[in-house]
Amino acid sequence: MYWDQATETMSRDQLEELQLKRMKETLNRAAKAPFYQTLGIADYVIKDLSDIQKLPVTTKQDLRDAYPYGMVCTPLQEIIRLHSSSGTTGIPTVVYHSREDIQMWTELVTRCMYMIGVRPDDVFQNMIGYGLFTGGLGLHYGAERLGCLTIPTGPGNTKRQLKFMKEFDVSVIHVIPSYALHLADTLEAAGIKPKKEFPKLKSAILGAEPHSEETRAKIEDFFGIDAFNSYGLSEMNGPGVAFECPHKQGLHLWEDAFCFEIVDPETLKPTSPGERGELIVTTLTRQAMPIIRYRTKDLTMRITAECACGRTHQRIERISGRSDDMMILKGVNIFPIQIEQILIGTPGVGRNYQIILESKGHNDHMILKVELDPSMFIGDISSLEKLRAKLIRELHDEILITPDVDLCEPGSIPVAQGKAVRVIDNREL
Ligand code: AMP
Ligand code: ZN
């Protein structure tokens, strides 16, 4: 049941002792990187874990400013790999790994996969991008370490994905949730029943983008499988930071490798358990490029209750969005996931949607493009009008804005190769 029982079920006291020891080592190592030297990190003294709050935070901008080598604290000959974040603007953020870093990352990913029941006799199809993006190689190394037959398809080419899944009797897939929904659409359009086509398929690992509980349920129902939420970011290796156990009540964040805080994004003061805030993470084992108090911008909540699985590493709630993704419309703060929850949970609504923001005079205006199930286009048009009215009503109750709802046929909204583009902001500044 456990990949590494001693670590996964370590008592909280032992775990915190380990964290403190690793935190001190991390500070010593980080002090060799030009960026942290400038911050005078060597002068900070950590006596207990709460002292972490005295340390400066590190932002994505800091990583950019330190580009290309300002965060590295080991000689280049000890570094064997770099990865870069998927951000599309400006200078990329680059993260460097030593051999030990890659081994530790692999260990964490293997631990996650084992936790959800992946075993050496599984056939694993990895539909997430290889290359600079961390999703592909991260899971790839973990699956191989576990001993699975690993198929590195990467993203896209839906026909081939489905063919491989069928012909190699794939049992586990790793997929971006929006792409899983696209696969479902494609199968449905071809009248293919997933349980018949892929009798061995048992689980999907969903990662790389925020998705709602409703989206998970839709994927699980359609394919007849279990789907597990996988969270990570390239600054913290990539996948393998936090992952759902079979109980699916939040994601265990591996505290032997990372120290996490949840803070108010404005004041950076810790939030109380049960209160949502920004996740801040410190690497505890990274050799080549330790990162101290990284501001992820991801919003979540700490779950302190013990988990029925016996793992002692605390859980975080599924990420509800990035503080960057928050849209402010007519003064109201809205996250795309609030809209997704309503859409995906409504019968008749399909699996893809897009939010378009425009200026109407001096006002903000939202147009919501929503793909529908093909069955909605057969027969009575009044059912479309009823659905539109229902959506507008429920959306207004949730986000206090009355959007225009544009009901479209399946396949009319483009599907991204990587993370879905949910919001297009055409507003004038
Ligand atoms: P990258 O560094 O390009 O891999 O992107 C990392 C970002 O993707 C994170 O900071 C999150 O915003 C997002 N992300 C990754 N996994 C998840 C997940 N399971 N749920 C929500 N957001 C995620
Ligand atoms: Zn658990």
Distance 341 CA to ligand 1 centre (A): 18
**166-219 pLDDT, tens digit each:** 999 999 999 999 999 999 999 999 999 999 999 999 999 999 999 999 999 999
Query: Do 264 and 381 belong to one domain?
Result: no
Nearest residue CA, atom 5 of ligand 1? Answer: 233
Q: What mean pLDDT is predicted for residues 245-272?
A: 97
CA distance 368 to 355: 5
Distance 130 CA to ligand 1 centre (A): 15
Distances (CA, A) of 101 to 130, 301, 320: 18, 27, 29
In CATH, what number is assigned to the domain containing residue 319?
Answer: 3.40.50.12780
Number of domains in the chain: 2
Query: Do 319 and 342 belong to one domain?
Result: no
Query: Do 269 and 312 belong to one domain?
Result: yes
Confidence class for position 419, pLDDT limits 50, 70, 90:
confident
CA distance 149 to 172: 10
Query: Do 114 and 53 belong to one domain?
Result: yes
Q: Is the pLDDT of residue 378 over 90?
A: no
Out of 272, 298, 323, pick the residue that ends a domain. 323
Query: Do 69 and 82 belong to one domain?
Result: yes
Query: Which ligand gives the minimal distance to the CA of 8?
Result: 2
Query: Do 383 and 404 belong to one domain?
Result: yes
Query: Do 147 and 264 belong to one domain?
Result: yes
What is the predicted pLDDT for the residue at 329? Answer: 86
What is the predicted pLDDT for the residue at 86? Answer: 56
Query: Do 79 and 209 belong to one domain?
Result: yes
- 190 close to 319: Cβ distance less than 8 angstroms: no
Nearest residue CA, atom 23 of ligand 1? Answer: 209
Out of 323, 358, 379, pick the residue that ends a domain. 323
Domain enclosing residue 354, as ranges: 326-425
CA distance 248 to 260: 20
One-letter amino acid at 19 equals: Q
pLDDT above 70 coverage of the chain, percent: 99
Out of 323, 348, 370, pick the residue that ends a domain. 323
Substitution site in 294, 298, 324 for ligand 1 pocket (most atoms within 8 Å of beta carbon): 298
What is the predicted pLDDT for the residue at 417? Answer: 79
Distance 136 CA to ligand 1 centre (A): 13
Query: Do 283 and 409 belong to one domain?
Result: no
Query: Do 142 and 273 belong to one domain?
Result: yes
Nearest residue CA, atom 21 of ligand 1? Answer: 210
What is the predicted pLDDT for the residue at 400? Answer: 87
Q: Is the dihedral of CA 191, 194, 198, 199 positive or negative?
A: negative
Separation of CA 197 from chain center = 28
- 110 close to 3: Cβ distance less than 8 angstroms: yes
Distance 321 CA to ligand 2 centre (A): 22
Distance 146 CA to ligand 2 centre (A): 20
Q: What mean pLDDT is predicted for residues 139-151?
A: 98
- Which atom of ligand 1 is nearest the CA belonging to 135? 4
CA distance 313 to 216: 23
What is the predicted pLDDT for the residue at 273? Answer: 81
Q: Is the pLDDT of residue 162 over 70?
A: yes
In CATH, what number is assigned to the domain containing residue 333?
Answer: 3.30.300.30
Query: Do 240 and 386 belong to one domain?
Result: no
Q: Is the pLDDT of residue 154 over 90?
A: yes
Query: Which ligand gives the minimal distance to the CA of 228?
Result: 1
The binding-site residues of ligand 1, defined as CB within 6 angstroms of any ligand atom, are 85-86, 134, 207-210, 229-234, 238, 296, 298, 319, 322
Nearest residue CA, atom 19 of ligand 1? Answer: 231
Query: Which ligand gives the minimal distance to the CA of 252?
Result: 2
Tokens of 215: 């989206």
Residue whose token pair is 């969903």: 206
What is the predicted pLDDT for the residue at 161? Answer: 98
**290-336 pLDDT, tens digit each:** 999 999 999 999 999 999 999 999 999 999 988 888 888 888 889 99
Q: Is the pLDDT of residue 230 over 80?
A: yes
Query: Do 308 and 389 belong to one domain?
Result: no
The length of the chain in residues reads 429
Distance 48 CA to ligand 2 centre (A): 27
Confidence class for position 90, pLDDT limits 50, 70, 90:
low
